[in-house]
Chain A
């Protein structure tokens, strides 16, 4: 036992003190946090991009004043200007583009053109399309001469935003966001895939290194081959756990700090101040009001997302993630160790890698599918079967998994990983001292059945 701890110690220390490890450990959470925070910051800032658009109608000029200014869009209605003349000069005049609206628009959906030098953002187009559509609908309704139409319209107007809630076993309701769950599923599944594959492959490379440099002959004359293999696997597992825990802590710390600094600044009052103050007529003011409500609801959406993120069952997620990392890693690392012991150099591993890679890739694909449909039977089975369960279960957990499924999956995992470690140890013991012979699966099967 003492010998194993010496080996574990070496495997751990040499890896943890590598520059590449330190760099990865520090950089990854910064990137992660950036990935979480950046979209929020970008969304809050991009609206400062201000556009002035010249609106030209035909003789009937049915749509004058229909498009209301927003925080980022200003519409200037021009009279007696030739569209073709303006085409040449609009940029110099400070316009982003020319919106030419024909009266035919009432009957022909595409009788409106936006001329600009750049591809306009979809959000802006949607705003213009919706405003025009609403106006046309309003005018068509008015043609029916309904009494108190305005009032009716006000009453009819509705907005819908589905709020998702998750009920846990004790009946407590928590606000969640499917977006967050999807993100966590994707992130968890992918991280599991990366860790298992990355550290599993490290075990294989380590074994090959010891075999080709013949270090193994020196060590095996001091310790048992199985001790060497387990020492290596455990040592690298600890490296993986260390990295993972630092990642979790750093990510939380960075997100926490950014949340209090960046997001707190951007409160509603400040944003409302950035809205142009020179808007005079009532309609426009109403539009601004609406815009402000929208912005504030966006803000509250972000805060909600954060709350929802914090509301995730982090204890369960991290616990099961670590559980599946350890067992899944042991399972694959022992396969990798057996492969490493059977070959003479890394290029020879190819023929053995494919059958090992297939379940991992399959698991990753199912995990991505799980984000769309966490309850599919494919996801279910893949989260129970040990070769794929670490990755798929990591993706399923944020959506909530019944306890019996989790327990079944974990139990199967433990049994399987012990069996794999046992088999790998037998192959390893023989393979590690075999040189110059091309190994086949058949050969490995023979080693597996050697006794003693």
Chain B
């Protein structure tokens, strides 16, 4: 079931469409990648979900009901450009934002302590935000986003500015939040993290949704007729007219061959041909990376 749904959302700035009948559907307890090139309209959609601005037309649903202004309390939003008071102390600041989200002081404190310990931030409590590094500030912002345990968490570029260690920590926290029942909308240009984290994606380009679905399905779909076969020892698949070899590598006594199936689509036939040539270790469709798909989709459509 979809926790969040947007139907035909349109937003215009003057004669320019920021969103043109965009629809997305975010399944409950999943991580949803909201992708698209710069200026595609992602941030506008996120702002509409957060009631920062309103759509010109279209409908939004949370939990099957129409999205109401009060629902912002069950949404956690990490904006792309971080927003923290520079002169305010970290602890006071997170407490302030938590209370604005409707938490009582005692409850906010209890959760704060938990998260500050978990993310190794306890020493920062009395420091001013401006004394922290960019990555540290981002951790603070992350905690303010999730502290009120929102049903829907919207993260706009959550990894920018993080070192690999902290990126990993935050990735694990995102997965942990999903385990606990949260639904996450992740807007990012980091395609590796999309493959790693996202269950579903929607790709927006020039104000329209041009690709939507499960990440696995999309990659399969875009794999087309490309496969990868690995032999033990030096072996090869000769082109018998049915296939065309794209790439062949021999490394560590293993031959990796990428090929495109020609008119013969039956993978069993190809495989039975292959086993005659040597010992097959693996046979897979060659899945394109999300990065390749992104570039191909955006370039062909424009």
Contact = CB atoms under 8 A, between A and B. Distances in A.
Question: Contact size class for B?
Answer: 20 to 34
Contacts of A452: 54
B96 A216 contact: no
Interface stretch (B75-83, B209-217, B245-253): B75-83
A210 B97 CA distance: 13
Nearest to B43: A217
A222 B97 contact: yes
Contacts of A209: 85-86
Majority secondary structure, B binding face? loop
A150 to B, nearest CB: 80
Nearest to A7: B100
Nearest to A213: B83
B73 interface: yes
A215 B84 contact: yes
A218 B96 contact: no
Interface string B43-58: 0000100111110000
A266 interface: no
A145 interface: no
Contacts of B86: 209, 213
B97 A218 contact: yes
B293 interface: no
Contacts of A220: 50, 52
A218 B148 CA distance: 13
A216 B97 CA distance: 11
B96 A6 contact: yes
A216 B88 CA distance: 15
A222 B83 contact: no
Contact of A222 (B72, B84, B85, B87): B72
A151 B91 CA distance: 88
Interface string A198-226: 00000000000110011111111111000
Interface string B29-72: 00000000000000000010011111000000000000000001
A235 to B, nearest CB: 12
Interface in A14-33: 14
B144 interface: yes
A412 B77 CA distance: 43
Given A214-B82, A217-B83, A433 B52 contact: yes
Contacts of B97: 218-219, 222
A10 interface: yes
B21 interface: no
B50 A221 contact: yes
A290 B42 CA distance: 91
B85 A223 contact: no
Given A6-B96, A6-B100, A7-B100, A218 B83 contact: yes
A64 interface: no
B51 A221 contact: yes
A351 B165 CA distance: 47
B99 interface: yes
Given A221-B51, A222-B73, A215 B85 contact: yes
Contacts of A216: 83
Interface string B79-120: 101111111100000001101111000000000000000000
A140 interface: no
A218 B100 CA distance: 10
A3 interface: yes
Contact of A217 (B79, B87, B100, B102): B79
Contacts of B51: 221
A222 B96 contact: no
Contacts of B83: 210, 213-219
Contacts of B47: 217, 433
Given A215-B85, A221-B51, A6 B99 contact: yes
B77 A218 contact: yes
Contacts of B53: 433
B79 A214 contact: yes
A7 B96 CA distance: 8
Given A217-B47, A218-B84, A221-B52, 20 more contacts: A6-B96, A6-B100, A7-B100, A14-B85, A14-B87, A14-B88, A209-B86, A214-B79, A214-B81, A214-B82, A216-B83, A217-B83, A218-B83, A218-B97, A218-B141, A218-B144, A219-B97, A220-B52, A433-B47, A433-B53
Interface of B: 47, 50-54, 72-73, 75, 77, 79, 81-88, 96-97, 99-102, 141, 144
Interface of A: 3, 6-7, 10, 14, 209-210, 213-223, 433, 452
19 contacts: A3-B100, A209-B86, A213-B83, A213-B85, A214-B79, A215-B84, A216-B83, A217-B81, A218-B77, A218-B83, A218-B144, A219-B97, A219-B100, A221-B77, A222-B73, A222-B100, A222-B101, A433-B52, A433-B53
Listed from nearest, the 10 A-B pairs whose CB atoms lie closest are: A214-B83, A215-B83, A221-B50, A222-B100, A214-B81, A218-B83, A217-B79, A221-B77, A6-B99, A222-B101
